[in-house]
Amino acid sequence: MAGLEDASPWQILKKLRIIGGGWAGLSAAISAVQRGWQVRIQEAAPSLGGRARRIQHTGLHLDNGQHILIGAYTKTLQLLKLIGVKEQQVLMRLPLHIITPQGFQFKALNWPSPLHVLTAIATAKQWSIQDKFSLFKTCVDWQIKQFKCDPSLTVQQICKTLSPSVYQSMIEPLCIAALNTPASQASASVFLRVLQDAFLSGTHGSDFLLPRVDLSELFVIPAQKWLIQHGAVIECHQPVESIKSSQHNDEINILACPPWEAARLTQHMHPHWSLTTSQLQFEAIATVYTHSKSFSLSHPFLALPIHHPTQAQFVFDQGRISQHPNKKGLWSWVVSASQGDRDAITQSVLHQARDLGFSDLDVITTVVEKRASFSCKPGISRPPSHVGQGLWACGDYIDGPYPSTLEGAVLSGQQVIDQIGQI
Ligand SMILES: Cc1cc2nc3c(=O)[nH]c(=O)nc-3n(C[C@H](O)[C@H](O)[C@H](O)COP(=O)(O)OP(=O)(O)OC[C@H]3O[C@@H](n4cnc5c(N)ncnc54)[C@H](O)[C@@H]3O)c2cc1C
């Protein structure tokens, strides 16, 4: 990343209005400020962070949804470092380790990539030799094809050579965690790209990084402080109603709001871009926060077998992860690609918990984000970052290599600034 000293006089002339202060907007703002540009963020909500931010509940700092990062999120990790956030203080780094309450285990050793994955396959518990061989053979096949496939295929379709056991215990949970779309409907080419980055970008690309602090403390507040210290202007409570509403005619506008809002704002001036964007579909994610007086999970998080889309695929023990006394006994149950309403999901998760032997749970709250991510299906059309004359867009939905993720949002913010820098 360029430092402030690299800014040329021509670049200093640029003035940006960034509409939306989620992770993409903040990432774009930081990149622009680094080039010496003038930046103003207008955010509709009272605080920044968008879909990845803190919420308050009866004195507790929770998130509007449990998030998980991986070691391959290089842009996000570099950005945290740049703004002075120390990874060890805010993230718990765990080597790839998928474990279920029923005793299934897939654990990578600290060996060079891709040996770490091969050892995980070889030592996986509860898989037969045939299961392991099917995964090994399929991985070699994906590697030979350089993790590329026909973009019209689903994850399920490229996994036909896998045994049912490997597919259910490994592929389905990984796919839903990474793409928030069930494997039977998810884009195989995006999934393969995520696997390639996670498993072949070095031993630590597949590490899990679990937030020890809420998402605002992790990135949003340090980013806001850094931006203000470097001269950016941040205006919250400022919903932008129209892109013509800027008082400053010399500003370049960047839409960093969610896709449905970007589609609305561009409807009349850029109907083609707006139509592409408005055709994206979305998946929900629900997080059920519970409190347990008597239990602590055996690991910071567990993968869970599911039989219904109102059940959680993962449960996280915030007490173990954060080590903060007021998080003791706080668990977050994540229902990705969730269906049904808040009450149905809460009851279903409580039932699931009882079946797992956790009977003393009190529900703290359930957060349902109806449009948590775009539905990452084969062949979807994602809009480009250039909308039209003087108008750009960034966000996790803009055409790019990743599904709806923090890394996708951060990368998109940086890329839009690189592109504006070239004009
Ligand atoms: C429950 C949940 C769980 C998730 N889990 C993970 C995970 O484990 N790992 C992962 O990598 N990703 C995860 N994600 C995805 C991740 O949170 C998103 O990809 C990312 O936050 C998107 O950032 P963004 O900046 O593109 O958009 P947003 O966060 O949506 O930001 C857009 C901003 O624009 C503002 N805005 C809207 N309209 C206007 C307007 N008219 N004027 C001004 N401002 C406006 C909004 O208030 C918001 O602040 C999860 C998402 C959710 C919801």
Per-residue pLDDT reduced to its tens digit, 38-88: 999 999 999 999 999 999 998 899 999 999 999 999 999 999 999 999 999
Six-digit token pair at 300? 């910071």
Is the pLDDT assigned to residue 17 strictly greater than 80? yes
Distance 291 CA to ligand 1 centre (A): 26
Q: What is the pLDDT of residue 203?
A: 79
Residues of the chain with CATH 3.30.70: 282-374
Mean pLDDT of 142-149: 94
CA distances from 361 to 168, 270, 331 (A): 27, 51, 9
What CATH number does domain 4-84+214-280+379-421 carry, 1.20.120.790, 3.40.50.1000, 3.40.50.300, 3.50.50.60?
3.50.50.60
d(CA 382, CA 259): 10
d(CA 120, CA 59): 41
Give CATH for domain 282-374. 3.30.70
Q: Could you report the per-residue pLDDT of 383-400, keeping only the tens digit for each?
A: 999 999 989 999 999 999
Residues of the chain with CATH 3.50.50.60: 4-84+214-280+379-421
Q: How many residues does the chain have?
A: 423
Contact predicate 48/30, CB 8 Å: no
- φ, ψ (nearest 5 deg) of residue 28: -60, -45
Q: What is the pLDDT of residue 111?
A: 86
Predicted TM-score of the model (pTM): 0.94
Q: Could you report the per-residue pLDDT of 5-16, keeping only the tens digit for each?
A: 455 544 457 999
What percentage of residues in the chain have a pLDDT greater than 90?
83
Q: What is the pLDDT of residue 260?
A: 98
Please name every residue paired with 283 in a beta bridge, in sequence order, or none if there are none: 373
The residue whose CB lies within 8 Å of the most ligand 1 atoms, and thus the one to mutate among 79, 236, 257, 402, is 257
User: Which of 2-11, 144-153, 204-213 has the weakest average pLDDT?
Assistant: 2-11
Q: Could you report the per-residue pLDDT of 173-198, keeping only the tens digit for each?
A: 999 999 999 999 999 999 999 999 98
Is the pLDDT assigned to residue 1 strictly greater than 50? no
3-state SS, one letter per residue, for 117-144: HHHHHHHCECCCHHHHHHHHHHHHHHHH
Task: Name residues contacting ligand 1 (CB within 6 A).
Answer: 19-25, 42-45, 50-52, 65, 67-68, 239-240, 256-258, 261, 285, 287, 369, 372-373, 395-396, 404-409
d(CA 286, CA 192): 25
Neighbour-count burial for 279-293, b at 16+ CB within 10 Å, e otherwise: ebebbbbbbbbbbbe
- CA-based torsion, 126, 131, 136, 140: positive or negative: negative
Radius of gyration (C-alpha) of the chain in whole angstroms = 22
Determine which residue's CA is closest to atom 48 belonging to ligand 1: 50
First to last CA, the chain: 19
Distance 197 CA to ligand 1 centre (A): 22
Instruction: Quote the mean pLDDT of the chain.
Output: 93
